[in-house]
């Protein structure tokens, strides 16, 4: 009998629940809205109802291997408490595991969403042929996941691989975590917008960027990327900043871990061609290991589904 698992990706906006078989086939899914404003208990209710709906739909035809749930934020794995989560306001110090366990009568795995996405890439994505992998997800913030010997590296508390918060520039731009100069403050989608605002305030923005800001449309990293593609010098400078920050961080990770492959995922990776040149230059400049033995730095092949596959694999692997 074919085995299957339920994979859940709980995001700040979207709540996705999927049934995935042991061969990596996603054969059923529910796309829900998180509706975080309704309160955390309501979100957990709808998530567990979605899980039970898919379990009941398929459990007679296939064998249920288990349930895996990826959630955003800093998750203390030993007790299942979500310590902090910028994407889920009001969930600080919430015991997510206890709340889910109350509603599900079967065991489940809980995981940080970036760790789950890293595992998904390792299972059937850009990292499927390697043993060791570093994953960075570039969205509003930057999440990280480390896979050593095919397994997620959790550290002592379960909070390891907060790779977006390594310090690159002491005294640099303020990060959402409270530190200054983090990778996230220079390479996340929000950093692209912050850098554009700084240029505008300092009176050194290009004509194109000034026009975009004056047009009344919201300043987003996607719009700034469109400008960069059109050759706008300020927009291109911003993505060079992104590339340098990523390259610096990746060079550090190569020097420390000497892993096979580095995978970049998340929405902001769409701007790859605008930042890759400065990223690779920086990696080559700062990593002696890389210069002597270059390894792969790749785009995610699973895109926004990496987290769902990884969550399912927590139960299937
Ligand atoms: Zn930070």
Q: Which domain holds residue 295?
A: 133-300
What is the Å distance from ligand 1's center to 162 Cα?
9
Please tell me the distance between residue 181's alpha carbon and the centre of ligand 1 in angstroms.
7
Instruction: Please state, for a pLDDT cut of 90, what percent of the chain lies above it.
Output: 90
Tokens of 225: 């990327």
**How many domains does one find in the chain?**
2
Q: State in Å: Cα 190 to ligand 1 middle.
A: 12
pTM of the model: 0.94
Distance from the CA of 274 to the center of ligand 1, in angstroms?
23
Confidence of residue 87 (pLDDT cuts 50, 70, 90): confident
Ligand 1 midpoint to CA 159 (Å): 14
Query: 140 and 44: one domain?
Result: no
Per DSSP bridges, beta strands 142-148 and 151-152 are antiparallel
Cα 155 to ligand 1 centre (Å): 18
Centroid of ligand 1 to alpha carbon of 307 (angstroms): 22
pLDDT tens digit sequence for 90-133: 999 999 999 999 999 889 999 999 999 999 999 999 999 999 99
Coil, strand or helix: which one is 297?
Answer: strand
Confidence of residue 82 (pLDDT cuts 50, 70, 90): very high
246 Cα to the center of ligand 1, angstroms: 14
| Same domain assignment for residues 237 and 284 | yes
Looking at the structure, tell me whether residues 159 and 284 fall in a common domain: yes
Q: Are residues 146 and 283 in the same domain?
A: yes
Cα–Cα distance for residue pair 84/76, rounded to 1 Å: 10
E runs forming strands in 158-271? 261-265
For ligand 1, the distance from its centroid to the CA atom of residue 212, given in whole angstroms, is 28
CA 20 – ligand 1 centroid, Å: 34
Q: 68 with 175, same domain?
A: no
Q: What value does the mean pLDDT of the chain take?
A: 95
Letter string b/e over residues 235-269, b meaning 16 or more CB atoms within 10 A of that residue's CB: bbbbbbbbbbbbbbbbbbbbeebebebbbbbbebb
What's the confidence (pLDDT) of residue 243? 98
């Amino acid at each position: 009998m074919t085995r299957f698992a339920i994979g859940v990706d709980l995001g700040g906006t979207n709540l996705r629940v999927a049934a995935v078989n042991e061969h990596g086939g996603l054969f059923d899914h529910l796309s829900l809205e998180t509706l975080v404003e309704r309160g955390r208990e309501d979100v957990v209710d709808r998530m567990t109802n979605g899980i039970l709906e898919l379990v009941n739909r398929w459990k007679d035809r296939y064998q249920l291997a288990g349930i895996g749930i990826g959630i955003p934020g800093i998750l203390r794995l030993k007790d299942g408490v979500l310590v902090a989560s910028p994407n889920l306001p009001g969930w600080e110090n919430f015991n997510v595991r206890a709340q889910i366990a109350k509603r599900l009568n079967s065991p489940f795995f809980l995981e940080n969403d970036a760790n789950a996405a890293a595992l998904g890439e390792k299972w059937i994505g850009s990292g499927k042929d390697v043993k060791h992998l570093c994953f960075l997800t570039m969205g509003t913030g930057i999440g990280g996941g480390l896979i050593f010997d095919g397994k997620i590296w959790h550290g002592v508390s379960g909070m390891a691989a907060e790779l977006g918060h390594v310090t690159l520039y002491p005294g640099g731009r303020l990060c959402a975590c409270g530190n200054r100069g983090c990778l996230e403050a220079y390479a996340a989608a929000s950093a692209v917008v912050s850098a554009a605002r700084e240029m505008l305030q300092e009176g050194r923005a290009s004509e194109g960027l000034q026009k975009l800001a004056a047009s009344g449309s919201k300043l987003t990293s996607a719009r700034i990327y469109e400008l960069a593609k059109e050759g706008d010098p300020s927009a291109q400078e911003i993505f060079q900043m992104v590339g340098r920050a990523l390259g610096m961080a990746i060079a550090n990770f190569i020097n420390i871990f000497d892993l096979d492959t580095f995978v970049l995922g998340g929405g902001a990776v769409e701007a790859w061609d605008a930042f890759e040149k400065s990223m690779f230059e920086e990696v080559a400049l700062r990593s002696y290991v890389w210069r002597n033995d270059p390894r792969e730095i790749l785009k995610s092949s699973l895109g926004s589904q990496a987290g769902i596959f990884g969550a399912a694999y927590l139960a299937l692997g």
